[in-house]
Amino acid sequence: MDIDVRDLVDAEQGLVNRRIFIDRAIYEQELEKIFARCWLFLGHESQIPHPGDFLSTYMGEDPVLVVRDSTGKIHAFLNICRHRGNRICRADMGNAATFICAYHGWAYANDGRLIGVPNLQEAYFGELELEQWGLIPVAQLDSYKGLLFATFDPEAPPLLAYLGEMAWYLDNFFDRREGGIEVIGGMHKWVIPCNWKFPAENFGGDPYHVGWSHLSAVQVGFTPGGATRPGAGGRLIQPGNGHGIIALAPANLADPMISTITAYEETIRPEVEQRLGPRFGKVFPIVGTLFPNFSFLRASARTFRVWHPRGPDKIEVWACIFVDKAAPPEVKEAYRLAGIHTFSPSGTLEQDDMENWQECTRTCQGVVSRRYPLNYQMGLGHEHFDDDLGAWASNSRFSELNPRRFYERWTQLMTADCWAEVPNSPVPSPAGRGLG
Ligand code: FES
Ligand SMILES: [Fe+2]
């Protein structure tokens, strides 16, 4: 029996019950209603460029193997053996023609077919139909500008409809130049004892914390401080479907204050402007979250990450540094170093954030604390639809418009029995009301 979370989230009034950050039953419902349904980010095509290349990841708590087969076609399968359920591939990344289970030795081709079973005749008397027992594929797999996404739900809307107006905002991060981006270096993975929604809402709509949480990083020059100045402008952009973008005013600076990088950005600006079209120059997106748990940032660092849920009070962060593929090697190296200094397990800004999300989660354990809702009322009603942006926008950069819409979407999905009951809103509704 599902929990009716409409009693817990009042997106219209900006009140959220703290139970949704700590309750095990609500978490299980999230795995079913959100993570087994939504389009989730898997990786970038540049991470598996050659036939046989693979990476292993997760969709919710389900292990997933993303592999480019020997003919070059990309697949995504549950990373579990069909025999006794052992995890087939335990390597993070690599290249393989076959995946052989470590337990009893069933072997799968890199297109998912079961091609080898030890002692087949003696054990199964020729009665095991190998073609019935291949790896289990995701329901839908698609890519947008090299970003690979999948969903376990065959009824989920097509990826482009799911992205809606967010697609243009993704271009600002991942498709600024011909060839798009590539991932450089490896992947940082670490655990934070926090609920997955705190980082997702932070990247998708919390510019408010920057001038305070990250003040020390601003003061020592790890990140430009322009956005923290009074009157600096900027706003939240709300393209619908629970996604969120934080934007600065176009004149603001967000890039690392490193001459190699600032000179590069200046050089490519005309090309980027032409590629992104007339909306470029009106708005400067710097960070965002694609609902539910894929976030990306271009302030101080170029990083994208997935907040993999690991229980109501734990996440694994999987974070990469990305660069324009066409950038010269010294620029890529400068971005790699800037990323490590700011947004990585040892990064100055990352550590500020982790501490806060951890404590916000931990206090939800208190039964009395939990009686008091969290406040998401900032800028309530102070928003407008902006035709130039194709989205709703807050009137001030200090707003919680995006978290309100994030929890509105969360509520819609958590209370719907199927995708047909979930409104698709490339342009969000003016009322901004939850289903309740
Ligand atoms: S669990 Fe994989 S072969 Fe038995
Ligand atoms: Fe932060």
Q: Output the DSSP codes for 26-69.
A: HHHHHIIIIITTS-EEEEEGGGS-STTEEEEEEETTEEEEEEE-
What ligand 1 atom has the least distance to the C-alpha of 104? 3
What ligand 1 atom has the least distance to the C-alpha of 117? 3
Cα 374 to middle of ligand 2, angstroms: 19
User: Is the pLDDT reported for residue 65 higher than 90?
Assistant: yes
Residue 47 gets the label, from left (phi > 0), alpha (psi -120 to 50) or beta, of alpha
Q: Looking at residue 432, what is its pLDDT?
A: 42
Q: What is the mean pLDDT of the chain?
A: 93
What mean pLDDT is predicted for residues 234-247?
95
384 is catalytic: no
353 is catalytic: yes
What percent of the chain is predicted at pLDDT more than 70? Answer: 95
In the set 23, 206, 255, 313, the catalytic residue is: 206
For 358, which DSSP code? Answer: H
What mean pLDDT is predicted for residues 311-332?
97
Cα separation, 308 vs 35, whole angstroms: 10
pLDDT band at 426 (very low <50, low <70, confident <90, very high): low
What mean pLDDT is predicted for residues 406-413?
97
User: Is the pLDDT reported for residue 258 higher than 90?
Assistant: no
User: Is the pLDDT reported for residue 27 higher than 50?
Assistant: yes
pLDDT band at 427 (very low <50, low <70, confident <90, very high): low
Cα separation, 371 vs 10, whole angstroms: 15
Within 8 A by CB and 6+ apart from 264, the residues are: 327, 328, 331
Least-confidence region, from 184-193, 209-218, 304-313: 209-218
Q: Looking at residue 108, what is its pLDDT?
A: 98
What mean pLDDT is predicted for residues 313-325?
97
209 is catalytic: yes
Q: Which ligand is nearest to the CA of 204?
A: 2
92 is catalytic: no
pLDDT band at 228 (very low <50, low <70, confident <90, very high): low
User: Which residue is closest in CA terms to ligand 1's atom 4?
Assistant: 104
For 137, which DSSP code? Answer: B
Pocket residues: Cβ below 6 A from ligand 1: 81, 83-84, 86, 101, 103-106
50 is catalytic: no
Q: Looking at residue 227, what is its pLDDT?
A: 61
Q: Could you tell which of 88, 104, 119 is best to mutate to test the pocket of ligand 1, judged by most ligand atoms within 8 Å of the CB?
A: 104
User: Is the pLDDT reported for residue 208 higher than 80?
Assistant: yes
What mean pLDDT is predicted for residues 4-27?
97
For 353-376, write each residue's pLDDT tens digit.
999 999 999 999 999 999 999 999
Please say whether the beta carbons of 189 and 317 come within 8 A.
Answer: yes
Least-confidence region, from 134-143, 154-163, 214-223: 214-223
CA 265, 267, 271, 277 torsion-angle sign: positive
Q: Looking at residue 435, what is its pLDDT?
A: 30
| 3-class DSSP state of 387 | coil
Question: Is pLDDT larger for residue 306 or for residue 225?
Answer: 306
Question: Is pLDDT larger for residue 307 or for residue 210?
Answer: 307
Q: Looking at residue 429, what is its pLDDT?
A: 47
Q: Looking at residue 250, what is its pLDDT?
A: 78
